[in-house]
Structure 1
Amino acid sequence: MDMTEQLTAFWPIILMVVIFYFLLWRPQKKQQKRRQEMLDSLKPGAKIVTVGGVMGTIVSLHDDYLVIRVADKVEIRVTRAAVAQVLSKGSEGKKAAKKAEKPEVVEANNDVKAEAAQAADENQKDAQ
């Protein structure tokens, strides 16, 4: 085998490494960077959700852990790694607004169904 044949044999391997870089390693690094920025930006008063689904407000920060208030006079310590996300101030209000809108949509759908049923009954009477 001469040199060009050896290089040609390595192209698929080089191509696979490049694909792995763009599909796996690079997005993972970006995600790790965003998570670290989120953990670095934690401050008392921020509302968080832990990986276990516990929601609370940060009371104090320490090197390895933080103390969160989950109810009146109930505080727990969790590691920094247990923080899944920081809730924005508007996210809870948006969820409540969506829940409030749903019954109105259901009522509107019921009105449309009732009108359609009345129209169908009238058409049947006219046909007879």
Structure 2
Amino acid sequence: MKRVYVDEKWCLGCHLCEYYCAFANSGKSSMIKALKDRKINPRIQIEGDNHISFAVSCRHCTDPICVKSCIAGALSIQAGVVRIDRDKCVGCHTCVLVCPYGAIMPADEGVMQKCELCIENAGGKPACVQGCPNKAVIYEKRA
């Protein structure tokens, strides 16, 4: 299965992937309307310092502990992608606590959010990959 990876040697730490992610998941047709004068809430986070930057996002584990731990049954695996049913999520943060990658976070509405590889967004590739000017964010299958 394809996943999102970041090549740390090419990542500039510009955070554009975060903006593209937030826009793609905003439901708005204009990036300006979606992001201007608002705190963005991306599903990928760039961490690091001046020497190295790396992305924190869902690894879509083959045996995800977050899915097993969800008390509401809101997390599931669909075609290899760990998904959150926002209607079932009760906002208990159990998935946040058990995720070893820190990839699940609260959304503005109180439920949880995480990278779902933009499977509901058009384009064939996750928005963070499409928006990376340095091609540091990669969407590929690895062994």
**TM-score, with normalisation over the residues of structure 1?**
0.21
Report which of the two has the higher share of helix.
1
Q: Which has the higher contact order (CA 8 A, sep 6+)?
A: 2
**TM-score, with normalisation over the residues of structure 2?**
0.20
Structure 1 or 2, whichever has the larger Rg, is: 1
